[in-house]
Structure 1
Amino acid sequence: MAESAQPLLDAFIDVYMNSLKYLDEFVSEPAKEFHLSFEQYLILREITKHRNVTLMDIASQRQVTRSAISRQIKVLLRQGYLRQQPDENDRRRLYLLATPAGIEAERVIRQRISRRFQGWVDVYGEDRAREILKFIQDFSQVTRLKK
């Protein structure tokens, strides 16, 4: 690495240590009262928005393994936010359905996330928020291409 790039690297490390590593906590906080991670909330959200969702649907959409999603769904089932219903034509196929408690948890968490996001937009402005989003999207795309 060129010596002139060292201050830039140091600045990136400083931003990570003092900001980015806390982003997950910032995003996850609205779901904590319901003992859910942000990933678990996103799964619950998907199930409340769509009908006839299966574990494999979620795994395919997120491009992760079935076992990774299964672990998250087990928590949602155990906490009473989801239930499973067999397909009438193929009893081996299980649909995931939100329970009344799951529907309410998703609604409350969604409202909290919306307020938190709006606060972020209020601070930075919509144009700056779009610039930040575009940078993150570009960064993600370049990172995926290099894998």
Structure 2
Amino acid sequence: MSKSNADLLKEAIDVYLSSLKYLDNFVSEPATKYGLSFEQYLILHTIAEQDNVSLMDIASERRVTRSAISRQIKVLLQHDYIYQKPAESDRRRLYLHLTPTGKETEKKVNDLITARFDRWISRYGDEKVKAILQFIRVFAAEEMQNTTYASK
């Protein structure tokens, strides 16, 4: 590795440790006030936004396993944020619904996240935020195509 590439790697690690971890906290912190991970909040939000959504629908949408969503659903059930109701046409299919507490919690977390994001846009401007998001989208898409990092 050249000296300039080694310096860039050191800088990338520093940015990750000092900044990108903050971005994760920036997004997830409002949900933690209500005993939720950000992923659990996103599931709650999906249930709030869609009628007749099932565990399988969410797993498919997020491109994760059924068991990964099932673990998150279990926490939401324990917090009394959601309940499951069998579909009329197929009693084996369970639809997810928000409880009154779940509706209130989803709205509060959504309001907190929205306010944070609005402040972020005000501070940096629409164009810079769009550019950052576009770079992340392109970076992720290209790197996901190249998921095998064989040491060469």
SS at match of 2:88: coil
Matched, 1:85 2:85: yes
Task: Please list every run of 5 or more consecutive structure 2 residues that lacks an aligned counterpart in the other structure.
Answer: 148-152
Question: CA deviation digits over 1:52-99, x for unaligned, max 9?
Answer: 100000000011000000000000011000000011221111000011
Other-structure match for 2:64: 64
CA distance in 2 between counterparts of 1:24 and 1:16 reads 11
Give 1:1-147 correspondences, 5 Å limit: 1-147=1-147
CA–CA separation in structure 1 for the residues paired with 2:97 and 2:144: 32
Q: Distance in 2 between matches of 1:17 and 1:110?
A: 27
The superposition leaves residues 108-146 of structure 1 with CA deviations (integer Å, 9 ceiling, x where unpaired) of: 111100110011111111110111001100111011110
Cα shift at 1:25:
1.7
SS in 2 for 1:30: helix
TM-score, length of structure 1 as denominator length: 0.96
Amino acid at match of 1:10: K
Q: CA deviation at 1:22?
A: 2.6
Percent identity, aligned pairs only?
Answer: 54
Alignment partner of 1:19: what SS? helix
- Report SS of the residue matched to 1:80: coil
Cα RMSD after superposing both structures:
0.9
Letter in 1 for 2:49: K
Q: For 2:36 and 2:30, how far apart are their aligned partners in 1?
A: 9
The one-character-per-residue Cα deviations of 1:2-49 (angstroms, maximum 9, x if unpaired) are: 222121111111111111123222211111221001100000000010
How many aligned positions are there? 147
Question: Residue 80 of structure 2 aligns to a residue in which SS?
Answer: coil
1:25 partner amino acid: N
